[in-house]
Chain A
């Protein structure tokens, strides 16, 4: 008789992209999704692509206004590398046109800054749960 083994939730790898060290650390510290493990941090789009290739994350949180390469362009490139990656935009840019553009490029969710711990975790839950 086969032993019963309860299914464990799949471990998901998270990459955090933001030019603010304070925000990167805050997301890393505050995200409480049990099966989400931070595998990389990046401070701009160019660095994000490099870390993405190295760590192959399943989930990415992405700022938009960053030096070198902005978040919108980076989303497009990450989706080209891995079409099923889940991307949550976390940005101060609060206009609808930017949110629509990000979603059209392949982002899956949008969270406005400033955000509370609860809002961050709800947005990540929704992102992962909706996959």
Chain B
């Protein structure tokens, strides 16, 4: 189960990503618990498996438009499907990796995998209760989903 300080660490990692990488702050909505099923995904989801001190998944899910603008803000001219997949995985990896500042080295993270297609669901650990952190950036809405046991 996630504690408040864990959620705070993920929120901080998310806001820091946009501040530094995109040089434009994102705002974060109130995190909420999904009690049944898995949260809906946007066009692209970067998924990180977590093992060690905690087990589960962390994923960042965003619409194509948001990732396209994010790439452009990073002065990347290639906004192909391949690059959008690469970026969504990198965002997930960066947010999950930054959390080790609070959770320590035993919070082991995998390389990212990417799920594409809005409405597809990311496989969650059995019995996992995901917490969704809504992310608002420019006119776009994305989400960070944290499901840890």
Interface residues of B in 4-50 (CB under 8 A from A): 16-17, 20-21, 23
Q: Is B74 engaged at the interface, CB distance under 8 Å to the other chain? A: yes
Residues 77-112 of chain B, each 1 if its beta carbon lies under 8 Å from chain A, else 0: 010001100110110011111111101110101110
- B98: which of A23, A30, A97, A112 is its contact (CB, 8 Å)? A112
Please report the total number of B residues contacting A with Cβ < 8 Å.
Answer: 32
Indicate if the CB atoms of B21 and A114 lie closer than 8 Å. Answer: yes
B contact set with A: CB distance below 8 Å: 16-17, 20-21, 23, 71, 74-76, 78, 82-83, 86-87, 89-90, 93-101, 103-105, 107, 109-111
Among residues of B, the one whose C-beta sits closest to the C-beta of A92 is: B97
Among residues of A, the one whose C-beta sits closest to the C-beta of B111 is: A67
- In whole angstroms, how far apart are the Cα atoms of A124 and B78 in the complex? 25
**Separation in Å of the B109 CB from the closest CB of chain A?**
6
- In whole angstroms, how far apart are the Cα atoms of A59 and B101 in the complex? 27
Indicate if the CB atoms of B74 and A22 lie closer than 8 Å. Answer: yes
Q: Is A116 engaged at the interface, CB distance under 8 Å to the other chain? A: yes
Interface residues of A in 83-111 (CB under 8 A from B): 91-95, 97-98
Indicate if the CB atoms of A65 and B93 lie closer than 8 Å. Answer: yes
Instruction: Say whether, besides A22-B74, A22-B83, A92 and B94 are in contact (CB < 8 Å).
Output: yes
Q: Is A55 engaged at the interface, CB distance under 8 Å to the other chain? A: no
- In whole angstroms, how far apart are the Cα atoms of A98 and B107 in the complex? 11
Q: Is A82 engaged at the interface, CB distance under 8 Å to the other chain? A: no
Please report the total number of A residues contacting B with Cβ < 8 Å.
Answer: 25
Instruction: Say whether, besides A22-B86, A114-B17, A116-B20, A65 and B98 are in contact (CB < 8 Å).
Output: no
List of B residues within 8 angstroms of A65 by Cβ: 93, 97, 109-111
Instruction: Say whether, besides A20-B90, A22-B74, A114-B17, A94 and B98 are in contact (CB < 8 Å).
Output: yes
Among residues of A, the one whose C-beta sits closest to the C-beta of B93 is: A92
A-B contact pairs, 10 of them (CB 8 A): A20-B89, A21-B82, A22-B71, A22-B83, A26-B74, A92-B97, A94-B97, A98-B100, A115-B20, A116-B20
Residues 18-41 of chain A, each 1 if its beta carbon lies under 8 Å from chain B, else 0: 011111011001100000000000
Indicate if the CB atoms of B97 and A113 lie closer than 8 Å. Answer: yes
Q: Is A66 engaged at the interface, CB distance under 8 Å to the other chain? A: yes
Instruction: Say whether, besides A20-B86, A91-B97, A114-B20, A25 and B76 are in contact (CB < 8 Å).
Output: yes
Given A91-B97, A94-B99, A94-B100, output 12 extra A-B contacts at Cβ < 8 Å.
A20-B89, A22-B76, A25-B78, A65-B110, A92-B97, A92-B98, A95-B104, A114-B16, A114-B94, A115-B20, A115-B21, A116-B20
List of A residues within 8 angstroms of B21 by Cβ: 114-116
